[in-house]
Homo-oligomer: A and B are copies of this chain.
């Protein structure tokens, strides 16, 4: 994969571009370690372990695909209140690997829990025994290949040995790199906020580049916070904020069998107790969580397979949320719209086509369409001021904003996508070779 770590470790400026990242440092209660288990035939890290020495509350949203990977089946059977570790591997999706794929996870979980229990005895005043069911798995990569149980098992001792209790930006970067497949850039984001008078951190990493049209959750996204929030409240916060973030992006309209976004809360920041999801104290946290999720989701799109342009689709004034979302995704998933954007062609006829095929009622006499600040359609007619040369100039930007006003209600949706280039074909025509 030829990724040069130092390329990603130089950003300090306040005005970060999307291609740059935020430095994540230490967060109480989370340890991160990575290693190379030779899942790819090279030296890149391909295993990442996240260890919660005192456990973590947690909640996850999963893919809505009817075919799910073995690790998601495993995760769905874990009903423990606290999670001790998340282990993520790349290269192999552990999907359609049958009973063997699931049994491999059982064996790996056995070793992880055993090694972590030993570490508890070494390091903790009051060591606890860590159980296999306290381990969550994230898997990503090719579907249908035998899961590399041995390679992963053999590397667990090293992952546990590498655990340190103070994290720095390098280890988070390594983790973000270790979970990548066809991604060309790691995705990290962070926010700080207050709960009461206590400062809280929210860190997030994600991966995802192809097979991305969210349906509940998408790709792999992991959020870590030192706040103390119950599983029930975490679930409500995640579900609410995923709609406008990870579920608002599409790269190619395909939905993975392995999608998951999990939030972990270590509770190490000792703030006043949060009573319920509507607790006033949670307001800033809620906003900050949305920012982290949106930041990560946008990074996934901007690194979408073959992407040369980042596209935001604002759909306004529909009858209901569903309609707005349908129009936004009909545009965002249209190969014809996306190739026109790649070709820097302001071919708005294709936007019209995509709106039409969404199958949603629209007020054709009042509909408006803009590209950036350029009015194309106003009140159902081509704008008198429309000049194609200006629109063609606009299309040369790296960031394209499409605005649709359906003029038949008050509900909105914003979707994010990228263009469809020859590079997408290159990447996917020989993904496995």
Q: Which A residues contact B (CB, under 8 angstroms)?
A: 64-68, 93, 95-96, 98, 142-145, 210-211, 213, 215, 252-257, 333-336, 339-340, 342-343, 345, 347-350, 352-362, 364, 377, 380-382, 420-422, 424-426, 428-433
Contacts and interface: CB of A to CB of B under 8 A. Distances in A.
A142 B350 CA distance: 9
B64 A349 contact: no
Given A252-B336, A335-B252, A67 B355 contact: yes
A339 B142 contact: no
List the 10 closest A-B pairs by CB distance, nearest first.
A143-B349, A343-B429, A67-B356, A339-B428, A65-B356, A255-B357, A144-B349, A422-B422, A252-B335, A422-B425
Contacts of A68: 356
Contacts of A420: 335, 425
Given A211-B353, A428-B343, A333 B65 contact: no
A66 B356 contact: yes
B429 A340 contact: yes
A98 B359 CA distance: 20
A382 B143 CA distance: 12
Contacts of A64: 359
Among A257, A353, A422, A432, the one with the most B-chain Cβ atoms within 10 Å of its Cβ is A353
A340 B334 CA distance: 19
A345 B220 CA distance: 25
Given A252-B336, A335-B428, A424-B335, A352 B95 contact: yes
Nearest to A357: B255
Contacts of A210: 336
A431 B210 CA distance: 25
A143 B350 contact: yes
A67 B364 contact: yes
B345 A432 contact: yes
A33 B210 CA distance: 49
B429 A95 contact: no
Nearest to A327: B66
16 contacts: A65-B357, A66-B361, A67-B353, A95-B352, A96-B352, A96-B382, A98-B380, A254-B354, A257-B356, A335-B420, A335-B424, A340-B429, A345-B431, A345-B432, A421-B425, A424-B425
Nearest to A255: B357
A354 B354 CA distance: 22
Nearest to A141: B349
Contacts of A426: 422
A184 to B, nearest CB: 17
Contacts of A425: 339, 342, 420-422, 424-425
A211 B349 CA distance: 12
Contacts of A336: 210-211, 252, 254, 428
B144 A352 contact: yes
